[in-house]
């Protein structure tokens, strides 16, 4: 029987993927009394791995005494997963496992590689073979999926529209902003009446015609009718989410490590009531990647900077709560991001692709997925 001893930490992964990769039969979780381990226990058990959990004391002698009992209870060697840290516990476990000459390994939170630190080693890091799904990974962080979102890309016609918008970035920025405004200000019947200057604007009319051709809206004189609430959302910036999702969906052929991708997934932390909708979410290399897509204009004013920073802070919070210390986040903006907000995002480790960079969006997403840190 293959047994792992692991220390649970609410911000770190590496227990589930290692247990599956090494075909563990049982995982013993040591945790703080205040840490909720119900999520990771549930996922382990759903994958056929028995899991027991025990709340531990930070008192050194009490911890050592419990380890002595644990070693006495097992005649076959137990492997210590040293991936997660409460440092004191990790060092005490190291001490015991080295003394008993039992195996020790760890999973790097960035590279998805497993390294043997004591015994059972070929002196080479090994790539973890198992692939976790989004809902499994989220559940280990006690985050639950309320709505799986969309798993299939949009039809070819609307993908052609979004590509046309990206190809003409820089020449239709004001018109995209205007379309966002129209969709937002439409009445309960999803209708908006254009002002005279809007009706006479040839660039705006060209943009509206493109959206009308794929049946996202209809135009009769000065009156714009959005076909449905869903298509009104699409015109109000949802098209960028669809474009990003379609790109990532197709990228899986070249990046088989990207095993799961969804758009518009709704999640909730623990059993809370505050919902979060994630524009695009993916699992790659057993790390969670979340992407926020924005078409609104972020200018240089203090108010615009605050709005951009608010998006960045939300992304950073989501990244940590749902992906732990190995989670990654990206902001994709149709409009330019000012240098202050750009620096703020870099400081928080959030990848940004904005404005004219979108013409090389696929390359930026590849870079985002491929970066180990």
Secondary structure (3-state) at 306:
helix
- Asked if residue 312 lies in contact with residue 340, where contact means CB atoms within 8 angstroms, the answer is no
Give the CA dihedral 330, 333, 336, 341, nearest 10 degrees: -40
CATH number of the CATH domain containing 325: 3.40.1350.10
Structure confidence at residue 216 (pLDDT): 93
136 domain-assigned: no
Measured CA to CA, the distance from residue 350 to residue 320 in angstroms comes to 11
- Tell me, yes or no, whether 179 and 93 share the same domain: no
Domain count, the chain: 3
Rounded Cα gap, residues 32 and 97, in angstroms: 21
If asked whether residues 292 and 320 sit together in one domain, one would say: yes
pLDDT at 201: 93
Cα–Cα distance, 327 to 351 (Å, whole number): 12
- One domain for residues 24 and 125: yes
| Residue 142 lies inside a defined structural domain of this protein | no
One domain, residues 357 and 252: yes
Spatial separation of the C-alpha atoms in residues 93 and 87, rounded to whole Å: 10
User: Do 308 and 195 fall into the same domain?
Assistant: no
> How does pLDDT run along the chain (373 residues), one tens digit per residue?
899 999 999 999 999 999 999 999 999 999 999 999 999 999 999 999 999 999 999 999 999 999 999 889 888 889 999 998 899 999 999 999 999 999 999 999 888 899 999 988 767 789 998 899 999 999 999 999 999 988 888 888 888 999 999 998 988 889 999 999 999 999 999 999 999 999 999 999 999 999 999 999 999 999 999 989 999 999 999 999 999 999 999 999 999 999 999 999 999 987 777 789 999 999 999 999 999 999 988 877 788 788 889 999 999 999 988 988 899 999 999 989 988 899 999 999 999 999 999 999 999 999 999 986 6
Q: For residue 138, is it within any domain?
A: no
pLDDT at residue 373 in the model:
65
Q: Which residue's structure tokens are 């015991």?
A: 96
Whether residues 211 and 295 fall in one domain? no
Asked whether residue 194 is domain-assigned, the answer is: yes
Does a structural domain hold residue 139?
Answer: no
Instruction: Give per-residue burial for 182-204: e unless 16+ CB within 10 Å, then b.
Output: bbeebeeebbbebeeebeebeeb
Which CATH number fits the domain that encloses residue 107? 3.40.50.10770
What local confidence, expressed as pLDDT, does residue 185 receive?
93
For residue 220, give its domain range. 156-163+171-234
Mark which of 191, 208, 234 sits at the end of a domain.
234
Whether residue 175 is found in the same domain as residue 122:
no
One domain for residues 304 and 262: yes
* Claim to verify: residue 250 and residue 228 sit in the same structural domain: no
């Amino acid at each position: 029987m293959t047994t792992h001893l692991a220390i649970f930490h609410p911000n770190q992964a590496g227990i589930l993927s290692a247990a599956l990769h090494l075909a563990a039969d049982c995982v013993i979780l040591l945790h703080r009394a205040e840490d909720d381990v119900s999520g990771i226990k549930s996922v382990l058990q759903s994958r056929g791995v028995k899991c027991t959990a025990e709340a531990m004391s930070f008192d050194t002698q009490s911890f050592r005494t419990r380890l002595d009992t644990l070693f006495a209870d097992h005649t076959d060697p137990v492997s210590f997963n040293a991936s997660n840290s409460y440092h004191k516990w990790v060092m005490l476990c190291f001490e015991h496992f080295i003394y008993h000459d039992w195996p020790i390994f760890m999973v790097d939170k960035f590279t998805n590689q497993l390294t043997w630190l004591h015994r059972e080693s070929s002196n080479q890091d090994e790539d973890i073979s198992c692939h976790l799904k989004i809902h499994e990974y989220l559940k280990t962080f006690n985050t639950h999926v309320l709505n799986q979102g969309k798993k299939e890309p949009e039809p070819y016609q609307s993908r052609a529209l979004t590509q046309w918008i990206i190809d003409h970035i820089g020449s239709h920025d004001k018109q995209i902003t205007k379309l966002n405004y129209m969709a937002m200000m439409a009445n309960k019947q999803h209708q908006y009446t254009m002002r005279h200057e809007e009706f006479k604007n040839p660039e705006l009319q060209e943009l509206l015609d493109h959206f009308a051709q794929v049946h996202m809206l209809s135009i009769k004189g000065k009156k714009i009718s959005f076909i449905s609430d869903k298509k009104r959302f699409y015109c109000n910036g949802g098209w960028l989410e669809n474009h990003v999702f379609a790109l990532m969906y197709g990228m899986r052929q070249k990046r088989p490590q990207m095993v799961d991708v969804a758009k518009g997934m709704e999640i909730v932390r623990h059993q809370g009531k505050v919902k979060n909708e994630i524009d695009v979410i993916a699992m790659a290399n057993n790390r969670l990647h979340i992407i926020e897509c924005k078409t609104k204009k972020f200018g240089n004013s203090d108010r615009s900077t605050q709005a951009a920073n608010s998006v960045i802070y939300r992304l950073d919070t989501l990244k940590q709560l749902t992906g732990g210390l190995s989670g990654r986040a990206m902001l994709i903006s149709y409009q330019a991001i000012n240098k202050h907000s750009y620096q703020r995002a870099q400081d928080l480790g959030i990848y940004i692709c904005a404005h004219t960079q979108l013409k090389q969006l696929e390359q930026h997403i590849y870079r985002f997925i491929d970066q180990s840190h």
